[in-house]
Amino acid sequence: MCYMNTKSPARETPQEIRLAVDNAIFTVMEGALHVLLIQMTKKPFTRQWALPGGLVRVDETLDAAAARILEEQTGVKDVYLEQLYTFGRLDRDPLDRVVSVAYVSLIAPPVSPTQGLRTTTKYSAVRWWRVSEASRLAYDHDEILSYARKRLAWKLEYTNVSWSLLPRKFRLTDLQRVYEAVLGHPLDKRNFRKKILSLGLIESVGEVEGGAHRPAMLYRFRSRRPRIVEIL
């Protein structure tokens, strides 16, 4: 004899999950790694600082959303952009269930700390912060920033992505400062230069910078496209 289950199947709760992107935008200024932050006006994070971010539109890809929000909220565009990780802790947003796909962006140092920066009326300010001083951020952005910095350090060790943190022409000293700022410790000058020059990633542009007593040769990357190579 066969018995049928007469119980009604449990109804699944409809998903009400929002998808967002957040962006950790890095540059190196004054020998230190900096991150770009916006100041919130929305409760409960009023006056707190946060990574630029927002909801993804139904008609755009994640990459397109990250690029759009970056330009809308900060004025920054046409930069190195890479997907980092997905953050979905249940309590990461106190108002809604929001899953965020985080990105890392890298830009060359601006001429001044305020060059090209702007923001929308949704935020009260936008500015560069030393990563070492950026803490108690809104949402789970402390966690995102911490992981983004670790990922950046890893990438500088096995790729040529440091080109995105430098101007087109640079001194070897500038290149070493980028590595030291990201890694958080000094590097031996002689060994660093020997290794970098042996890899064939950069070439002299035939120009020098500085005074007559100690002019420094200027270099450029042969290619400004990501490449896997053991740097350190």
Q: Could you tell me the pLDDT band of residue 79, with boundaries at 50, 70 and 90?
A: confident
The answer to whether residues 200 and 86 belong to one domain is no
pLDDT of residue 225: 86
pLDDT tens digits for range 179-230:
999 999 999 999 999 999 999 999 999 999 876 667 899 999 999 888 898 8
- Whole-angstrom Cα distance, residue 5 to residue 177? 70
What is the distance between the alpha carbons of residues 176 and 166, in angstroms, rounded to a whole number?
11
Helix (H, G, I), strand (E, B) or coil at 169: coil
Buried b (16+ CB within 10 A) or exposed e, 192-225: beeebeeeebbeeeeeeeeeeeeeeebbbbeeee
Question: Residues 27, 54: one domain?
Answer: yes
Query: Are residues 174 and 121 both part of a single domain?
Result: no
Are 61 and 126 contained in the same domain? yes
Query: Residue 213 belongs to what domain range?
Result: 158-221
Do 200 and 91 lie in one domain? The reply is no
DSSP structural state of residue 115: T
Question: Same structural domain for residues 120 and 193?
Answer: no
pTM recorded for the entire structure: 0.89
Is residue 166 located within the same domain as residue 56? no
Residue 34 belongs to some domain of the structure: yes
173 within domain boundaries: yes
- Mean pLDDT, range 27-52, rounded to an integer: 95
Which of 72, 106, 140 terminates a domain? The answer is 140
Neighbours of 27 (CB within 10 A): 24
CATH code for position 45: 3.90.79.10
Residues 49 and 89 in one domain: yes
- What confidence tens digit (pLDDT) does each residue in 133-187 have? 999 999 999 999 999 999 999 999 999 999 999 999 999 999 999 999 999 999 9
Cα 29–chain centre separation? 15
- Mean pLDDT in residue range 103-109: 94
CATH number for position 194 = 1.10.10.10
Cα–Cα distance measured from residue 23 to residue 51, given in angstroms and rounded to the nearest whole number: 6
Residues 102 and 164 reside in one and the same domain: no
147 lies in some domain? no
pLDDT mean over 109-130: 89
Residues 131 and 166 in one domain: no
| Count of domains observed in the chain | 2
